[in-house]
Amino acid sequence: MAKIILSILTFLLMLFPNCTRLQVEYRSREVARDITAANVVRAINARDIGTLEAMMCLNIKQNTSDLSGEIRKLINTIDGEIVEFTEESFGTYSANRNGGKSIHQTYLAIEFKTATVENYRIYILLENYNSFQPDEMGIRRIFVITADDPSDVLHIIVATNGLGEWHE
């Protein structure tokens, strides 16, 4: 069903490329929580820097001097291929202003085990709706920790602003 909706939105965007509402709707489905978690795991296993880079928000893309290198470092902190994972949301942030415009962010945790029997967690702040600036939708913060020591951040990539406040 999601593919059908994305196809319809793609067609409508071809007809009306400057329609902000259509852009926001398309991007919000593209960065949905479950799709993002699966795509992050797939990209890490494939060592696909380009896919992870495309998932980042505009702020990270513009303010991280060597984004490809930073993503490579994040991927390289993980020892082995991911063989199983679970994802869960552990909070949200929403803001509404200026005549119905809004932002919605979700905090995700992806817990996974690698083929080398290492356990890790990736925490993601995902902006999955932004009718102010649709290009800012995407990953706004991502970091990797070992499950054994949650205080040991192996690598982090973070936007310079727009990180919201955590609400459960």
> For the chain, what percent of residues have pLDDT higher than 70?
77
> pTM score, two decimals?
0.78
- Where does the pLDDT of residue 168 fall: very low under 50, low under 70, confident under 90, or very high at 90 and above? very low
Q: Hey, which CATH number is domain 31-158, 3.10.450.50, 3.90.1300.10, 3.30.300.30, 3.30.70.580? A: 3.10.450.50
Q: Which range, of 17-21, 66-70, 73-77, averages the lowest pLDDT? A: 17-21
pLDDT of residue 59: 94
Give me the mean pLDDT over the 151-166 stretch. Answer: 82
Map out the domains of the chain as residue ranges: 31-158
What local confidence, expressed as pLDDT, does residue 68 receive? 97
- Tokens representing 166? 């955590």
Quick: pLDDT tens for 117-140. Answer: 789 999 999 888 888 888 888 999
Of 11-25, 49-63, 132-146, which gets the smallest average pLDDT?
Answer: 11-25
**82 CB contacts (<8 Å, ≥6 apart)?**
41, 44, 45, 112, 113, 114
3 state SS for 29-81: HHCCHHHHHHHHHHHHHHCCHHHHHHHECHHHHHHCCCHHHHHHHHHHCCCCC
Give the tens place of pLDDT for each residue, 69-106.
999 999 999 999 999 999 888 887 878 876 778 888 88
Q: Over 70: is that where the pLDDT of 21 sits?
A: no
pLDDT of residue 58: 94
Q: Which residue has the higher pLDDT, 162 or 38?
A: 38
Question: At 63, phi and psi to the nearest 5?
Answer: -110, 5
Distance of alpha carbon 49 from alpha carbon 51, whole angstroms: 6
